[in-house]
Amino acid sequence: MRSKAFIWAVVFIEAVLVLFYSLFVRFEDAANLETYGKQEFEDRANHQLDIYPLFQHISVMIFVGFAFNMSFLKYHNWNSISLNFLVGAFGLQLYIVFYGFWFALIKDDWENYVEISISKLVGAQYCVAGILISFGALLGKVNALQILVLTVVESLVYTLNEVIVVQELKAIDYGGSFVFHAFGAFFGVAAAWIVSPPSTKNHPHNQTSHKGMVYTAIGTMFLWMFWPSANTAGIQNPQERYLGILNTILALTGSTMTTFATSAALNSGKFKMQNILNASLAGGVLVGSSCNFILYPGVSLAIGILAGCITTVGFERVNLYFVEKLKLYDTCGVLYLHGFPGVLSGVISSLIIATRENTDLKEATFGIEDSFNEQAVNQLLAVLVTFGISIVFGAISAYIIKAEVFSEQKLFVDDPDWTEAKSPKPEGYELPVTATEKNRA
């Protein structure tokens, strides 16, 4: 039943998207052969081609980095990688339509087509990254049909939040620290809190393998290397982008060093692989909202050091508390790598922007329309809006995918979705029986 529902869902959604793309979406003028030979459009095309390498860098992060970073589960790595692939393709399609809809609605502009450009596709990749972060909290507990539905709902809500935060509040968050990192984390955690069954705790298939952690390390390395591109792809001014790249690299080195030290301090002098392969990336998240504002290298390095410390403590101590007291099962620990650092990044960006008020720097240098103090307030408002929208709609989406037509699933295994996959039945543990198996009996 579920496999047929997935097939028909894909057929229906793709048919609708073909119709929408045919009626309402066009390539931007610089990609239109009718403008061929005109200098203005040739310059615009060259600008978009300059962004294309950054688009490819982020593609590597999504299709290799995220995918392999989530492949640590012993019997669930096929789904971890393939559903990541599914979301990556599907989310790009949906973003163009949904962003165009919300932009037209809020700006009351229904006359123009929705345009596709490479820079717009970079924005779509950020949306995909947010959804994949949510997927990390739900990893092993949702099936292909559920992740398909979740992608539709979350991309619709993500684009609404982006238009409100970026277009209306004028928040500056080139690294997406709260726009997609915190959004995806809190959306996913809210959904995981509702979707995760009681059997999630101490489930015998919720385990890693030595080989799986090696694959995860590959994903981490790709994410680490290309994170500066993700933090700066949206910055137009080349000097500002250059500054953002340098600050991101320094922050990543800081979080990596502190992660090793903190992990050893909390584990009797030994390193813990889960910490190293996640918290080492936290510097990139924490510096994302302010990477283009930080003028001194010591600041970005300190931000990275702080990020590695708080994220490692989150994995080692806070996670245990949430599992025991709140029954919150966050498979990948996205709350500690993306959620808390994303919110804190917005707060830090607000503080840094506010300190620019009494300097010789001009607001226009950073693309700020209001005063530095007003922009600092807008940063905080954007964080609060993102937090509220992600929590509310994450919970709503959970109740949708928890419906019986979607939710038939064995936990932490590939078996239900792949012909060749087979996981062993653990000794001394009775796996929960699905609704279909009950009916057959």
CATH code at position 155: 1.10.3430.10
Q: Which candidate, 125, 126, 130, 102, places its Cα nearest to that of 187? A: 130
**Integer CA distances (angstroms), 241 to 121, 152, 196, in order:** 19, 32, 41
274 within a domain of the structure (yes/no): yes
Mind listing the pLDDT tens digit for each residue in 318-327?
Answer: 998 899 888 8
CB contact set of 233 (below 8 Å; sequence gap of 6+):
51, 54, 55, 57, 58, 122, 174
431 within a domain of the structure (yes/no): no
Mind listing the pLDDT tens digit for each residue in 377-390?
Answer: 999 999 999 999 99
328 within a domain of the structure (yes/no): yes
pLDDT at 407: 65
Residue pair 175/230 in contact (Cβ under 8 Å)? The answer is yes
Residue 441 has pLDDT above 50, yes or no: no
Residue 197 has pLDDT above 60, yes or no: yes
pTM value is 0.92
91 within a domain of the structure (yes/no): yes
Domain count of the fold of the chain: 1
pLDDT at 418: 83
359 within a domain of the structure (yes/no): yes
Q: What is the number of alpha carbons within 13 Å of residue 186 lying toward its C-beta?
A: 25
Residue 366 has pLDDT above 80, yes or no: no
pLDDT at 434: 46
Residue 439 has pLDDT above 90, yes or no: no
Residue 178 has pLDDT above 50, yes or no: yes
29 within a domain of the structure (yes/no): no
Domain that includes residue 254, residue range: 48-408
Average pLDDT over residues 128-154: 94
pLDDT at 430: 52
Which burial class, exposed, middle or buried, applies to 9 when counting CB atoms under 10 A from its CB (0-12, 13-18, 19+)?
middle
